[in-house]
């Protein structure tokens, strides 16, 4: 039996079509960003191709976290939204607050942690999905997407953020090896997220191969799959049950997996600490090294320099913590004290063009760095 609040939400969703037809704003698909052209697409907020993904995007949910969802939603500045969606968003805030209060009343107040099924929030999420087809400022868009994620739809949130793949993928569990596997389309954000899981094996190239993770890491692995490959096939509950059963039946193998997971198989980086500076070298990986280089370049050019001969960076010692933070997000970092400046070998496929910085430090002719 629907509550008064739920009935109001159904009426709100039903009214979106009228709002779409009564205004002439420029509209884009909330998921792929292409322009919307026909009335049906205006009412949905998505083009016909993206709309076909609804079955996958709305089928797999996680428990909704109302405190975080409400916090994100309340941070949205309604005056910065498109004029058409402002009254809609005010109604959504009221309904979300009511659901949050109802969840709190039913929660264990000692732990102050409460969740509800993502299915309870499907209509609210559909409204936000529709809202994002209107022109929305970046910071407000991020808050709306985080609201969707915390309402139990990480996959849809990833698609709305442009980070998740809507291509086909297959999630499975190998009972013999005790590993979870994923075979899916190329996804840079997913690739980088997967690399952070202990003991994981990632394909050499993002567009090829299979991801494998030990059974003991099934929670992190499945969470990454749900967010970055939301259109995957495979039953999460069944796979989780198999992984838990395998771990219980093979404690020795689980211990071996845990020991292997402690070995950092990521590309290597080296930081040599000298008297007043650090010398940094790292292997080249086209999927993330350009970003690492750009982050290092945010340091004042007077306090850093690049040596193209041995491919090392020399940075003022005051920035050591910042450089370590940049590197550790992607590399297994070796810290050394002394005057040795032996560089970590670059990947075999990396053949830099010899060049040098101009006097300003901003005009580097080296194609890689």
User: Which range has the worst mean pLDDT, 11-20, 141-150, 172-181?
Assistant: 11-20
Confirm whether pTM is higher than 0.75. no
Q: In this predicted structure, what is the pLDDT of residue 27?
A: 87
What are the tens digits of pLDDT across the range 117-138? 445 688 899 999 999 999 999 9
- Say yes or no to pLDDT of 363 above 90: no
- What CA–CA distance (Å, rounded) separates 244 from 32? 37
pLDDT category, 102, cuts 50, 70, 90? confident
**Domain 266-369: CATH architecture, name and number where available:** 2-Layer Sandwich (3.30)
- What CA–CA distance (Å, rounded) separates 261 from 183? 21
Q: Which of 62-71, 174-183, 354-363 is most confident?
A: 174-183
Q: In this predicted structure, what is the pLDDT of residue 359?
A: 41
- What CA–CA distance (Å, rounded) separates 205 from 207? 6
- What CA–CA distance (Å, rounded) separates 59 from 341? 53
What are the tens digits of pLDDT across the range 230-268? 999 999 999 999 999 999 999 999 988 888 777 666 788
- Say yes or no to pLDDT of 369 above 60: no
What are the tens digits of pLDDT across the range 17-33? 666 655 567 789 999 99
Q: In this predicted structure, what is the pLDDT of residue 20?
A: 60
What DSSP string describes 255-283? HHHHHHHTS--SPEEEEEE-SSEEEEEE-
- Say yes or no to pLDDT of 328 above 80: yes
Contact 159, 210 (CB under 8 A): no
- Domain range summary for the chain, segments of one domain joined by +: 4-160, 169-261, 266-369
- What CA–CA distance (Å, rounded) separates 272 from 311? 14
Contact 91, 128 (CB under 8 A): no
pLDDT category, 75, cuts 50, 70, 90? very high
- What CA–CA distance (Å, rounded) separates 69 from 75? 10
DSSP state of 84: G
211 pairs with which residues across the strands?
182
Q: Which two tokens stand for residue 7?
A: 């009935």
CA angle 354/359/360 to nearest 5° reads 110
Total number of residues shown for the chain: 369
Contact 315, 278 (CB under 8 A): yes
Torsion of Cα atoms, 132 then 137 then 140 then 145, to 10°: 40
Q: Are strands 312-316 and 304-307 parallel, antiparallel or unpaired?
A: antiparallel
Q: Which two tokens stand for residue 237?
A: 């509950």
């Amino acid at each position: 039996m629907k509550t008064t609040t739920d009935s109001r939400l159904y009426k709100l969703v039903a009214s979106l079509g009228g709002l779409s037809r009564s205004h002439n704003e420029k509209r884009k698909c909330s998921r792929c960003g292409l322009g919307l052209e026909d009335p049906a697409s205006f009412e949905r907020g998505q083009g016909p191709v993206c709309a076909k993904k609804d079955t996958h995007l709305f089928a797999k949910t996680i428990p909704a976290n109302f405190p975080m969802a409400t916090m994100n939603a309340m941070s949205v500045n309604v005056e910065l939204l498109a004029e058409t969606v402002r009254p809609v968003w005010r109604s959504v805030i009221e309904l979300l607050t009511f659901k949050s209060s109802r969840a709190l009343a039913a929660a264990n107040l000692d732990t102050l942690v409460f969740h509800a099924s993502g299915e309870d929030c499907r209509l609210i999420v559909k409204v936000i999905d529709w809202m994002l087809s209107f022109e929305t400022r970046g910071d407000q868009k991020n808050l709306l997407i985080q609201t969707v994620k915390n309402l139990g739809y990480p996959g849809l949130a990833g698609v709305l953020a442009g980070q998740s793949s809507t291509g086909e993928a297959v999630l499975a569990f190998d009972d013999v090896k005790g590993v979870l596997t994923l075979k899916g389309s190329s996804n840079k954000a997913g690739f980088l997220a997967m690399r952070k899981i202990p003991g994981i094996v990632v394909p050499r190239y993002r567009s090829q191969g299979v991801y494998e993770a030990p059974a003991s890491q099934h929670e992190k692995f499945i969470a990454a799959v749900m967010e970055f490959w939301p259109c995957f096939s495979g039953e999460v509950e069944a796979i989780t049950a198999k992984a838990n059963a395998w771990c219980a039946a093979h404690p020795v193998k689980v211990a071996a997996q845990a020991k292997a997971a402690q070995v950092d198989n990521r590309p290597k980086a080296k930081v040599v600490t000298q008297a007043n500076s650090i010398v940094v070298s790292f292997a080249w990986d086209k999927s993330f090294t350009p970003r690492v280089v750009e982050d290092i370049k945010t340091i004042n050019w007077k306090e850093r320099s690049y040596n193209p001969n041995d491919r090392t960076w020399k940075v003022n010692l005051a920035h050591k913590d910042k450089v370590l933070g940049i590197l550790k997000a992607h590399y297994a970092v070796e810290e050394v004290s002394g005057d040795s400046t032996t560089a970590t070998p670059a990947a075999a496929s990396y053949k830099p063009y010899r060049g040098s910085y101009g006097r300003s430090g901003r005009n580097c002719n080296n194609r890689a760095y």
